[in-house]
Structure 1
Amino acid sequence: MAAKLEGVSELTAAFAELKTDIQGQAARRITAAGGSVLRKEARVVAQNHGLRKTGALINNIVIKRERNKPDGTEQYNLGVRHGRDLGNGKKVIKYLELGKSGRVVTKRENDPFYWKFLHFGTRDIQATRFLEIALENKAPAAVTAMAEKAKKEVLKFNK
């Protein structure tokens, strides 16, 4: 699964010459470029495995920037947005409903709460690890996309 990259040492040296505030911006853009390649592939894999019933699962496969990361690193998580993580925007329609215990609960329309059942499997459902398959399929392409974005960022700021 290792991808061969050429010119990484020159790229690293040029990246080190950038100002520290610009390094953070560039690192976020570079990492997001690799994550977007994996996100697109995860959506394709999920759809090809027949996981598109309402489209909620496919539409909520996202990359999310990790806020509590170690210093000097940038990290994005690839996953499925569900539950409260869907947010409170205009696209999310919430309604109240009686739960099994008789309590009033908040439900969200198009909430793919079931994604873990499909991805990891249950006793009755065969696991379809669409996130892992996407990583295996597109890891070299993600690294290449990150390298190309890094070259663009270094050229943009080192004029």
Structure 2
Amino acid sequence: MDELLKNFRALHDDLKLKAAAAAVAGGARLVANEAKKNAQAQGLESSGALLENIAIKREKTGRDRIQYNVGVRHGSKSKNARKVVHYRGTRKKVTYENDPFYWWFHEFGTSKMPARPFMRPAFEANVEKVKQAMANRLRSSIERFKKRYGRNTVRST
């Protein structure tokens, strides 16, 4: 691990950012896939909306930090969200097809329903796997950059 960090710190800043983004995305992908497996194991796939909307999103942060969020898209942000308009008298209500708005109830529970989490256990049970996946991805990115750019990958000190 020390050798990996040494090689990472020696990269140019722009390559360092690309390698870090690839590593973090690899770890996030592992958590998202595990969350989908957990949701299926609990029988939450009846419509498939919940499984389809477990997603990874890169957050905009400063140049010195990479952040990916793993979560459930819902509402108008959902993938291919199509509005469905319901009229009741003079009132208009807009909902979205394929919207897993109920994911929050399963993850955290309600006053009448106990929690059946699938997101948090996906991360907590795989912390070491995520670290290993990130290290492997970082290692392969560094090797790919060295092969592609040669000596130009290393920052001159």
Normalising by structure 1, what TM-score?
0.85
Distance 1:48 1:102 in 2: 43
CA deviation vs aligned residue, 1:70-119 (integer Å, no higher than 9, x gap): 541111111110012215xxx332222236x9532322111001111111
Residue 121 of structure 1, aligned match among 84, 109, 115: 109
In structure 1, the partner of 2:86 is 97
Runs of 4+ in 1 over 6 A off after TM superposition: none
Amino acid at match of 1:14: N
Length-normalised TM-score, structure 2: 0.86
Any stretches of 5+ residues in structure 2 without a counterpart?
Answer: 148-157
C-alpha offsets along residues 100-145 of structure 1, whole Å, 9 cap, x if unaligned?
x953232211100111111100012120111111112211111111
Q: Secondary structure at the match of 2:125?
A: helix
Matched residue SS, 1:158: helix
Partner of 1:4: none
The match for 2:155 is none
**Letter of the aligned partner of 1:76 in structure 2?**
Y
- Give the length in aligned residue pairs: 147
1:103–1:79: structure 2 CA closer, same or farther, 3 Å change rule? same
- Per the alignment, do residues 47 and 95 of structure 1 end up closer, same or farther by CA in structure 2, a change over 3 Å counting? same
User: Which of 74, 88, 109 is 1:82 aligned to?
Assistant: 74
Supply the distance in 2 between the matched residues of 1:118 and 1:78 (Cα, whole angstroms): 16
How far the C-alpha of 1:61 sits from its partner, in A, is 0.9
Q: Is the 8 A contact 1:18 1:158 kept in 2?
A: no
What is the one-letter code of the residue matched to 1:130?
A: F
Q: Which residue does the alignment assign to 1:31?
A: 24
User: For the aligned residues, what is the CA RMSD?
Assistant: 1.7
